[in-house]
Homo-oligomer: A and B are copies of this chain.
Amino acid sequence: MEKQFHPNISVDCVIFGFDFKKLNVILVERNVHDPVNGAKQISDLTLTGNHVYFDEKLEDAAKRILFNLTGLSGIYLEQFFTTGDPERLKSVKDQVWLQKIGKDPRERVVSVCYFSLLNCDEITLKMGNRKIGWYSVKEAKNLAFDHGTILGNAIKALQTKLLYEPIGFEMLPEKFTLTQLQKLYEVVFDVEFDKRNFRKKVSKMNYLVPLDEKQKGVSHKPARYYTFSRELYEKNSSAMFNFSI
């Protein structure tokens, strides 16, 4: 007996990446052509997702999606939201699409959503016959299904998490400069920080380790590289109370 997908339970992954300039997300093209004249009936974008196997844990399904896409495992992954309204797949476009890919368009699908963090440069994406790639979150409009809502929630969840935990490093290479780190916070929160004040702040994070290595081949003063030490973070981090409101 083959592994079977559960018709009512799926997982969607919002995969964020940072290219030193902006916050990106992986999206997949969704095209349907008119069988008669070949004109495009649908042309838009979806998040990456899939139904779960009957005997598969939710998080394992998310890991499977990530692995099939990138060939990597051990990627940062966090559940943040679940969408499951009966009408969420009922627009005409979505019904046409479900028909095309061989799903029963009448089934109600609850989708458990995860966000996950990658360094854009380190991977090459692949996914069967659909075109897949990185898109700026600011340009990610006109998404299929309720994926626009999911993406909006994912960005808020990422921001909230990033206020408390140093997960930004998951989107940076092993070695990075302080300017790159600052830019990362700036694009996630869509604000700008003062360079000196930012450096003062991060200099208190003793899990941010300066290396003896510097940038090469840049036509300006080369920046020192830093690295994130998970051990130091886990040793020294302590709970904080801060209730701002």
Chain A residues with CB under 8 Å of chain B are 6, 8-9, 52, 54-58, 79, 81-86, 108, 110, 112, 160, 162-166, 185, 189, 191, 201, 205, 237, 240-245
Contact of A56 among B86, B163, B185, B242 (CB under 8 A): B86
Alpha-carbon separation in the docked complex, A112 to B201 (Å): 38
- Is the Cβ of A162 less than 8 Å from the Cβ of B243? yes
Rounded to whole Å, the gap between the CB of A153 and the closest CB of chain B is 10
- Is the Cβ of B165 less than 8 Å from the Cβ of A245? yes
Contacts of A84 in B (CB 8 A): 9, 52, 57-58, 112
Contacts of A9 in B (CB 8 A): 8, 84, 108, 110
Contacts of A54 in B (CB 8 A): 86, 108
- Is the Cβ of A244 less than 8 Å from the Cβ of B164? yes
Beyond known contacts A163-B244, A240-B244: 17 more, CB 8 A cutoff: A6-B8, A8-B8, A9-B84, A9-B108, A57-B84, A58-B83, A58-B84, A58-B85, A79-B82, A82-B82, A82-B112, A110-B110, A160-B160, A163-B242, A163-B243, A201-B243, A242-B242
Alpha-carbon separation in the docked complex, A83 to B108 (Å): 18
- Is the Cβ of B58 less than 8 Å from the Cβ of A82? yes
Rounded to whole Å, the gap between the CB of A154 and the closest CB of chain B is 14
Contacts of A108 in B (CB 8 A): 6, 9, 54
- Is the Cβ of A205 less than 8 Å from the Cβ of B160? no
Alpha-carbon separation in the docked complex, A81 to B58 (Å): 12
